């Protein structure tokens, strides 16, 4: 009986360890799998509901107000704007909330509202996202003074993780007047539901 109990306990232990390893692997796969990112036009899109500025860079970030991954993207954007003040005009474009509340009541909207030189735009029908060919929350574009696309992609190294990434380094280089070695990066965030 003791031998059977020990075997049973060992079996449960093995299943428990296997379950933890499988769950950790799935979480890691989710965090490091980028969202879809279509190739946008190389120039500022025509007839956008907001204007590109011509005396500095224009940054456009798309956000799902229900996406917890985008909190890290907004945090990285905040760091860039404080490190390089008054070098860019920023638009954060929010899609409609899926959870029933108004996008303006979401914590992400409220966080974005405190960013310097930033305007918030509501894209309820997904028209703006379609103009920019965006399908993933956190996707960010940087346009030069003449309207050329200088950078596109994400500014985190994985879903919901703050810290240096190829995207933040590239934008930092642009805003400081240096040349960039990377002009496109993977985007880690939730799928935008209204962009298709």
Q: Is the pLDDT of residue 195 over 80?
A: no
Of the candidates 45, 33, 102, 106, the residue with the CA atom closest to the CA atom of residue 74:
106
Cα 44–92–85 angle (5° rounding)?
90
pTM: 0.80
Q: How does DSSP classify residue 103?
A: G
pLDDT digits (tens, 9 = 90+) for 90-124: 999 999 876 666 788 889 999 999 999 999 999 98
- Name which of 148, 141, 117 is nearest 54 in CA terms: 148
| CATH architecture type of domain 57-175 | 3-Layer(aba) Sandwich (3.40)
What is the end-to-end Cα distance of the chain in Å, rounded? 62
- Domain regions of the chain by residue span: 1-32, 57-175
Q: Strand, helix or coil at 178?
A: coil
pLDDT for 14 equals 54
Q: What pLDDT is recorded for position 16?
A: 45
What is the C-alpha to C-alpha distance for residues 12 and 182, in angstroms, rounded to an integer? Answer: 49
pLDDT at 109: 94
Q: CA 193 to CA 196: how far, in whole Å? A: 7
**Local structure of 76: helix, strand or coil:** helix
pLDDT for res 155: 95
Let me know: does 120 contact 13? Beta carbons within 8 Å: no
Per-residue pLDDT, 34: 52
Q: Write out pLDDT tens, residues 16-69.
A: 444 443 433 434 444 455 555 666 778 898 888 999 999 999 999 999 998 888
| pLDDT tens digits, one per residue of 143-188 | 999 999 999 999 998 866 688 899 999 999 999 999 888 899 999 9
Which tokens is 192 given?
């935008």
């Amino acid at each position: 009986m003791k031998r059977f109990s020990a075997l049973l306990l060992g079996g449960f232990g093995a299943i428990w360890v296997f379950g933890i390893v499988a769950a950790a692997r799935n979480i890691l796969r989710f965090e490091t799998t980028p969202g879809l990112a279509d190739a946008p036009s190389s120039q500022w899109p025509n007839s956008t509901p907001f204007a590109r500025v011509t005396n500095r860079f224009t940054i456009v970030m798309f956000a799902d107000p229900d996406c917890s991954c985008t909190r890290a993207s907004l945090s990285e954007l905040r760091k860039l704007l404080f490190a390089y003040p008054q070098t860019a005009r920023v638009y954060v474009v929010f899609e409609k909330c899926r959870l029933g509340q108004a996008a303006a009541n979401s914590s992400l909207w409220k966080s974005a509202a405190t960013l310097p030189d930033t305007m918030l735009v509501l894209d309820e029908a997904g028209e703006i996202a379609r103009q920019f060919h965006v399908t993933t929350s956190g996707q960010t574009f940087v346009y030069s003074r003449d309207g050329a696309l200088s950078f596109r992609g994400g500014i985190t190294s994985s879903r919901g993780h703050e810290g240096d990434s190829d995207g933040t380094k590239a934008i930092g280089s642009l805003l400081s007047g240096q040349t960039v070695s990377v002009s496109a990066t993977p985007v880690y965030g939730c799928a935008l539901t209204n962009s298709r």
